[in-house]
Amino acid sequence: MRPFTFTFATDATAAVQAAMAAPAGPADRAAQGGGVHYLAGGTTLIDLMKLDVMRPAQLIDITRIAAPQMHAIAISPQGLSIGALATMRQVADHLGVRRDYPVVAESLQLAASQQLRNMARVGGNVLQRTRCAYFRDTSWPCNKRAPGSGCAAMDGENRWQAVLGTSEQCIASYPGDWATALMALDASVQVLGSGGTRALPFARLHRLPGNTPHIETTLAPGELITGFFIPAAAHTRRSLYLKVRDRESYEFALASAAVALDLDGDTVRAVRIGLGGPVAVPWRAREAEALLTGKPLTESNAAAAARAAFAGAKPRQHNAFRIPLGQQTLVRALLQAKTMELAT
Amino acid sequence: MSQPVPEVGANMGLSIARIDARAKVTGAARFASDMPVSNPAHAYLVTSTIARGRIVGLDETAARAVPGVLLILTHLNRPPLLPVKHFVAGGAGITTMPPLAGPEIAHNGQIIAMVVADSFEAAREAAHRFTVRYQRLAPAATFGSRGVLEQRIADVLPERKDPVLGNAAAALRSSAVVHDAEYATPTQHHNPMELFATTAHWAGDELTVYEPSQFVYGLRAGLAGQLGIAPEKVRVVNDYVGGAFGSKGALTQRTALVALAARQLGRPVKLVATRDQGFTISGHRHETRHRVRIGASRNGRFTGYHHDQWELNGRTDPYVNGGVENAAAMYAFPAVMSTGRMVRADRDPPIFMRAPAEMPVIFALESAVDELAVKLAMDPVELRRINDTDRNRVTGKPYSSRSLMPCYDAASAAFGWQRRNPQPGSMRAGDWLIGWGCATATYPTQVSPAVARVRLLADGTARVEIAAHDVGTGAYTVLAQMAAETLSIPPAQVSVAMGDTLLPPGPVSGGSVTTASACSAVKLACQQVLARLGLPSGATAAQRTAAFEKLKLGAVEETGNFVPSSSRSQTTGGLYKGSVDISGGVNAGNGAPTMFAFGAEFVEVRVHVRTREIRVPRIVGAFAAGRIMNPRTAHSQLMGGMIWGIGSALHEHTEIDQREARYMNDNLAEYLIPVNADIRQVDVILVPEVDTDVNPAGAKGIGELANVGTAAAVANAVFHATGRRIRELPITIDKLIMG
């Protein structure tokens, strides 16, 4: 860990102004996020600083920002609004969210541990960085940590790396669960920058690794995520998050599926599918959705959709199993959602 | 978990709570890094990022510029140290390779520098700014890697003989049914909750070391030898050890470095190595490969057993486990052959890890027995019953006691085994396939010499002192119970001191010897106290008071020297010098019988038909281990062992990048062990057993018993659920969903 300056912000605008005014930081730290970072729960950032992977020169603690909309969880006829500083636990435990948007609550409940869920904020959670062991260990080449150095994971121990959305430069997986639910439910994200607030589809927040795996989001320097909005829709109540892993809790997904269904009898009126686990970025399976829409939700139709969802998968030596596993996870999630009893 | 405390049977002591429980749950218990020292400096290790080659350049400039940095020890400036003997050769060291001896790199994660600074943060920052240039050579990482060296163990260590009986090759050739398969177990790391910490503090020429250790006398002897000072000048203290499992059994490289730095700086130095550094500085469970052949007649009688084992090792030291001799003793094999080999790769030295030999070997044997039962279309319990034996066929020596089949009967009844449909894939609950499997648990009953001092006061309080170690097992409690029982006083009137080289030497906390050995020494000391007072056993308080008054004494103190009859030494002298002397099992000397504890474990697994997650809703284990000193702490040990076994079956696996022979999942998020949610119902049954031959305490060690066989029981259950036989641990989704 390298020394850094540490300040508090008590309102969002001041935080953004402080971040914009901060010097760029030492050149030798640029690749390690050398400038300024917002700090909320710190469950990723502090961890990576201890590993010497991230070396910010300045941290701005945003947890003292009192603005209610930064903390609120509100359900209206239009949809669900969640402030970026709500903790994972608060959203997971929210009765309205559990009733009307179960996939959201479940994706958070099945993530991390209770202690981490108490600390981590949903705004920071979507920016959680990869668990790729080659990224987290500074002794290896890594195009995400040290651009141009190479990708050690490509021919290494890559059981945990992605098969969807990867590039020749990076096969790191995006580890989060809640982003998978946001993808499925067409969420948008609110961002505060120097020019005020803007909203963008959540699907446009993360960038595919391509040739620049070190640039992970479309956020401009100093921009702050202030909240999320999920539009109300007929499919949100028949929704669930299925997470498959080696142990029952406190593990990242080997495969996961966030599904939401609007059924007319057995026929799919609308379906939304987010995929987690072996994905480079939060993933939406639109091909699978298209195959299912207007058709009866049968096992064979679900299986065909699952095959389509992984049609573009590129396995490496140790992660090929995540293709059949991801497919089976999606089939299981769809069939489970079909028969789930809706909360009243 | 259904039973907080199991039913107490015959030949069992009081089921009392741990006497240190309150101190532990309130944080009052002080572990090594909690021990207060004045104005400590803080150390941080720098470890190599290559596995083989040499250091060709060090740049300390940036590290030295960090404010507060006091000292950077490297191979260029490390003060002299004397050689250390490996524990295989009677020494204390995990390796004979001295720390910071030169530029050569023998394994990834080797200590290459230690930074000492005023604060932990400064030391860490400086360590991160320390840069190294290497001349790198391609390492051999594991079995099958280019450049490994395969050796017959008997050629390297002539005293390690492969078990042999009759002509197994001929027996197998003429057998009606033969099972022949290969099995594999992975590298595992102990990951005790307490990190590898060392604090060194000099007062003049006297050194005090606070370090979690399973053998304070051994650590003292090894360290003093390395520093070239008298052992009496070194004191090693650890009141509590926060888990060890073998990883704190030997002298590692870090301790001398911390002592040298403290001497050089004239100031206490404290090191708490990080979790990932712990993966390379204090050993691991060696990776193994097995080829097992078992022959049988059509009616299920075993005809021959051929078990070849390969153990992966580093290049620096000839550490081996063997263990096939225990497997060969398990059943009535009329013919046995085995070849043990070690395979040397560019890896850090392995060390014992909870049932080091037995866990891998018995996984292979008990999987193979189950496979043979399938081939014979026999119930696997009945196959074991047919081949039960009352003696070790290889040595011909009878078992001192053997309750294997009573354990099977008790566990099988509690589990409901008779309701099992033997057809794989035939039992199901919704989308979950149900599998039931069982396997034998076994561990040699071993003992060590031990010395204990017991002081009884006229007021009926007593003090027990022995440099044994409570590694989280309840040793404080059972020693208090043994003294209380022998002196006829309530356990609450006994205080116990352990983990300090100022006390008389206890045994190494290895080989599951502590309870049997330390209790035997305590019992002897108590009997001597009673003899001094002229008191019979079971004397009343009034008799005791009268005896003290008659002798005009306020206290009586006696030192009990326990030397087991099976021991190769005849005195406790070696113990004072820090040498290990464990005997028992199949190889007890002086005409001693074969001594083992046994158990039977039954497991239910559920495997999802689509996504193939494997869950363990229940496990039942029945164990017989002579006198159970405290059913409550025994239950905890055995339950913990079975949970550990579930982890070895389904979770634990250190991932290694072959190109750099470097561990990749060196943290507790990715090195998986079971979490609470994975563990549902765990039932422990204590089968009463009396064995007066094993030791004066009549107790068999249980610390390493229950995690032996669990992995095979799980593998057998997974086969029953799915029809898929997984012979390589851990059993993960990958292996079930592909193919």
Strand intervals (E) in B186-326? 197-203, 206-210, 234-237, 269-272, 288-296, 302-313
C-alpha span between B528 and B679 (Å, rounded) = 46
> Could you tell me the pTM of the whole model?
0.97
**pLDDT at residue number A25:** 61
**Distance between CA atoms of residues B391 and B127, nearest Å:** 57
In this predicted structure, the answer to whether residue A29 has a pLDDT above a threshold of 60 is no
Q: By C-alpha distance, which of A245, A254, A261, A252 is closest to A326?
A: A254
Res B567: pLDDT:
85
In 10 A of CB B738, how many CB atoms?
A: 12
B659: chain A residues, CB-CB within 8 Å: 155-156
Q: Which residues in chain B come in under a pLDDT of 50?
A: 1
Catalytic positions of B are 704
Whether residue B515 contacts residue B475, with contact meaning beta carbons closer than 8 Å, is answered with yes
Query: Could you give the 3-state DSSP secondary structure of residue A288?
Result: helix
Tell me whether residues A139 and B672 touch, CB distance under 8 A. Answer: no
Query: Based on the number of CB atoms within 10 Å of its own CB, is A76 exposed (0-12), middle (13-18) or buried (19 or more)?
Result: exposed
Contacts 24+ apart (CB under 8 A), B110-113: B110/B47, B110/B48, B110/B280, B110/B348, B111/B45, B111/B46, B111/B47, B111/B48, B111/B253, B111/B254, B111/B257, B111/B281, B112/B46, B112/B47, B112/B48, B112/B55, B112/B74, B112/B75, B113/B45, B113/B46, B113/B58, B113/B72, B113/B73, B113/B74
Determine the straight-line distance between the first and last CA of chain B, rounded to whole angstroms.
Answer: 36
DSSP A341: P
Cα–Cα distance measured from residue A205 to residue A218, given in angstroms and rounded to the nearest whole number:
5
Per-residue confidence band for A344, with pLDDT thresholds at 50, 70 and 90 = confident
Positive or negative: CA dihedral B495, B500, B503, B509: positive
CB nearest B657 (choices: A157, A321, A329):
A157
Local structure of residue B677 (DSSP, 8 states): G
Q: What is the predicted ipTM?
A: 0.96
If pLDDT is split at 50, 70 and 90, which confidence band does A342 have?
confident
pLDDT (tens digit per residue) in A248-293 = 999 999 999 999 999 999 999 999 999 999 999 999 999 999 999 9
Residue with tokens 């053997």: B402
pLDDT at residue A119 is higher than 80: yes
pLDDT in tens, B522-577: 999 999 999 999 999 999 999 999 999 999 999 999 999 999 988 888 899 999 99
A residues 263-322 closer than 8 Å to B (CB): 318, 320-321
Q: What is the 3-state secondary structure (H, E, C) of B708-722?
A: CCHHHHHHHHHHHHH
For residue B671, the chain A residue with the least C-alpha distance is A251
Q: Across the interface, do A157 and B655 touch by the CB < 8 Å criterion?
A: yes
Query: What mean pLDDT comes out for the span A334-338?
Result: 98
- Partner A, chain B 644-663, Cβ-Cβ below 8 Å: 650-651, 655-657, 659-660, 662
Portion of chain A with pLDDT greater than 90, in percent: 93
Cis peptide before B730 (omega within 30 of 0): yes
Question: In a mutagenesis test of the B interface, which of A109, A151, A321 is the best target, namely the one with the most B β-carbons within 10 Å?
Answer: A321
pLDDT in tens, A319-332: 999 999 999 999 99
> What pLDDT, on a 0 to 100 scale, did the predictor assign at position B1?
47
Per-residue confidence band for A32, with pLDDT thresholds at 50, 70 and 90: low
The Cβ of residue B520 has, within 10 Å, a number of other Cβ atoms equal to 28
- The nearest CA of chain B is from the CA of A114 a distance in Å of 12
Q: Shortest CA distance to B664 belongs to which of B142, B149, B193, B273? A: B142
B259 in helix, strand or coil?
A: helix
| Residues B411 and B474 sit within 8 Å (Cβ to Cβ) | no
**pLDDT over threshold 70, residue A30:** no
Report the pLDDT value the prediction gives residue A23, as an integer from 0 to 100. Answer: 76
